[in-house]
Structure 1
């Protein structure tokens, strides 16, 4: 016979009858059962595992009065939501837990499952990648994660990111940090003072960006890739406005679930001050392999021809080679290391150059829904011929860059999350005219899908 039970003690809540504790009230009619919060939690867990969700609901509601079990309650509610088709509710509960406890692998796996059911494969694969780093996972679970990640990568059909914001900048025209420069005159050098137009100018830019792609599957092992990237910085007056866009189209071939190779034709356009600056066309070749425990290696080669609208001296060919290694650190961080080499073969020998460099970075999730990262890089650039107005020696540069990122994914306004990024760029050259510093602070709202 079904009666009514009063759960008192720490919870002091009135609950309907459940079969889980019916044995404590054998006699017909109402009865009172005193349960601790721990007992209510274990009973709720038992009911959820037995898929008796309606009977578990009042117990989960009562656990709201037990803040020490906030995480466990949220997990059970999220699990019930996922099992009953309320995917948005499940995703919100799991993300809420990870905001405060980003190292909870089981929660991350359930979030990934809900995202997969929702069709958000890109986000699901990201969380599976972080979960795979947990060395305490049973071997069969780790194998399932690897298999599922391969399936997600194979079925992913599109992705896009959109961002806009404001960016105070100390050097919007990328000008020298020097007030005077030395020029070769006769048998010696002559110092010249730079006028205002040649010196660094500060300003606040209005920024916007889009990055997206489509993957059209043609057979079990082949697909057509279409990628589009656009970035805009708009300044008052328009003289230093900078708009770039690149489109790449071509096939991808998957050797297996972890290894792929792609070839894409590409075209790129840049407008500076709303005037056509450069037009590029070429090809890029890429390969990547996903390893165990969230590791990935990738290589890319590209070749492109540049037509410069400002001067024929900048016209010519560019060759590039890039290598990247990524791995998950701990359970919530991704570290990366990249090396690259580039060769510019332009009509003007003084602008032709070769560059070699590397970069390191690490970023990930922290409590309170914070995403943060830091990266830095350096490169060496050697030019083919001297600019005789500056020196009889060819130009040599050391270039440094650094970036610090802070985002709050836990806050969303119409799907957009706020972020703050500081970027530093510096060039140290044997030519004073090309010594530059640039500091930029970007306040953005971004949407990832």
Structure 2
């Protein structure tokens, strides 16, 4: 009941704000005992609005259908068609109309709020909260509507829920084994340096991978302010021959505590497993704590710390402990974009000093919705890794790396096939190391179809 109350209140507020369309013009011509009324587009919109207020939805739909070939009135028509669909119980149809408006005008706040409440009614709480958050950033949002939005987001958080993302695709990759492209490395034996040529199998190899990915989560309420949070994901990349096939999975489970609408803490046990070339490559177990605070309408701060035990299938020298500290700041921009900045520090304390290291770095990015139904994002990062000891035979000094990464992603949310939308992602990674064996760079383009439940 509380959910319906908030939704109805938001709808009523927007209907009141929208008012009637621009002044309408109609011409009445009477002759030979009959009258003909000629109405322009604005008059039809005004008529449809009155029919909706009178709850005569079928008649309103007929009037609005007459405006489908009037592109200059597309925004108002789709908003009213979405409202009619909502009142008729066609939630999916309403979502489609509101998305059409946002495909053309990502900054259209009324359409975004209408979409958010439609998603909320459909039980798609995570998506609804995302759109409420974008709309909440608008400084021109009336205070009564802003209060209703905050209440709706609080209700979403209290109701808990689930989400599932599915992705399939393929990815041409210049370095599927993440190896060096250097043709020769130096072997160090005391005072002697001996050049060693690397064979083709020891150097970077290119290929095209077929990808399947699943990611999901669920929250189960335990009490008013405590829920059980479960997150899981799996990803498989298949390459010809199978030597570089990569399968990984992760599971996180633990309580989430909400101290207020603005503060929450999640503590989860972690388990990860990876197979590479169908060999047991790595497994890990640990704990993660994540604290999030909403700073204002459009800003959020997150702090996370984790620690885990790593057991490597490639040798005991790669086994040990990993600990990390992460901080992320997010800010909504222009009512349709989210900018973020992350800094991190990580320590790998492994059995071999040659592979134990500290790494510190950061990453910035921005992404969101653009006109024409395009989703876009761009990000980049840099980090510095300093190792504890030298790697015998390859260096007399401990390894030191600069690591760079960048990504550009485009998606076409306006095109859907069985609920899947096309995406393309370009990624670049580069490692500059004082040990030539670890010099590498990698270009990867992933073409995919993604669906978000």
TM-score, normalised on structure 1?
0.92
CA distance in 2, matches of 1:346, 1:35: 78
Query: Which among 399, 405, 430 is matched to residue 403 of structure 2?
Result: 399
1:51 deviates by 3.1
Query: Are residue 447 (structure 1) and residue 445 (structure 2) matched?
Result: no
CA distance in 1, matches of 2:30, 2:62: 21
SS at match of 1:296: strand
Greater C-alpha Rg: 1
Aligned twin of 1:272: 276
- Please identify runs of 4+ aligned residues in structure 1 that moved more than 6 A: 20-27
Query: Which among 316, 338, 346 is matched to residue 350 of structure 2?
Result: 346
Q: In the superposition, relative to structure 1, how do residues 177 and 124 fare at CA in structure 2: closer, same or farther (>3 Å)?
A: same
SS at match of 2:302: strand
Written as runs of structure 1 = structure 2, the 5 A alignment for 1:148-297 is 148-297=152-301
CA contact (8 A) 2:26 2:38 kept: no
Q: Could you list the per-position Cα deviations for residues 300-341 of structure 1 after superposition, in whole angstroms to 9, with x for gaps in the alignment?
A: 111100111221111111101111111111011111100111
Query: Which among 324, 330, 334 is matched to residue 330 of structure 1?
Result: 334
Written as runs of structure 1 = structure 2, the 5 A alignment for 1:22-171 is 30-171=34-175
CA distance in 2, matches of 1:422, 1:288: 30
Q: In the superposition, relative to structure 1, how do residues 279 and 54 fare at CA in structure 2: closer, same or farther (>3 Å)?
A: closer
Written as runs of structure 1 = structure 2, the 5 A alignment for 1:355-374 is 355-374=359-378
CA contact (8 A) 2:160 2:220 kept: no
CA contact (8 A) 1:405 1:419 kept: yes
- Size of the aligned set, in residue pairs, is 430
CA distance in 1, matches of 2:430, 2:302: 27
1:52 deviates by 3.4
The Cα RMSD (Å) is: 2.1
Q: Could you list the per-position Cα deviations for residues 66-110 of structure 1 after superposition, in whole angstroms to 9, with x for gaps in the alignment?
A: 332122111111111112211111111111111111111001111
1:147 deviates by 2.0
1:115 deviates by 0.9
Q: Could you list the per-position Cα deviations for residues 227-274 of structure 1 after superposition, in whole angstroms to 9, with x for gaps in the alignment?
A: 111111111111111111111111111101221111111111111110
CA contact (8 A) 2:160 2:221 kept: no
CA contact (8 A) 1:154 1:257 kept: no
CA distance in 1, matches of 2:104, 2:184: 53
Bigger mean CA deviation after superposition, 42-51 or 278-287: 42-51
Unpaired stretches in structure 1, ≥5 consecutive residues: 1-19
CA distance in 1, matches of 2:138, 2:151: 16
TM-score, normalised on structure 2?
0.91
Query: Are residue 420 (structure 1) and residue 424 (structure 2) matched?
Result: yes
CA contact (8 A) 2:26 2:40 kept: no
Q: In the superposition, relative to structure 1, how do residues 181 and 139 fare at CA in structure 2: closer, same or farther (>3 Å)?
A: same
CA distance in 2, matches of 1:67, 1:402: 39
CA contact (8 A) 2:27 2:37 kept: no
Aligned twin of 2:16: none
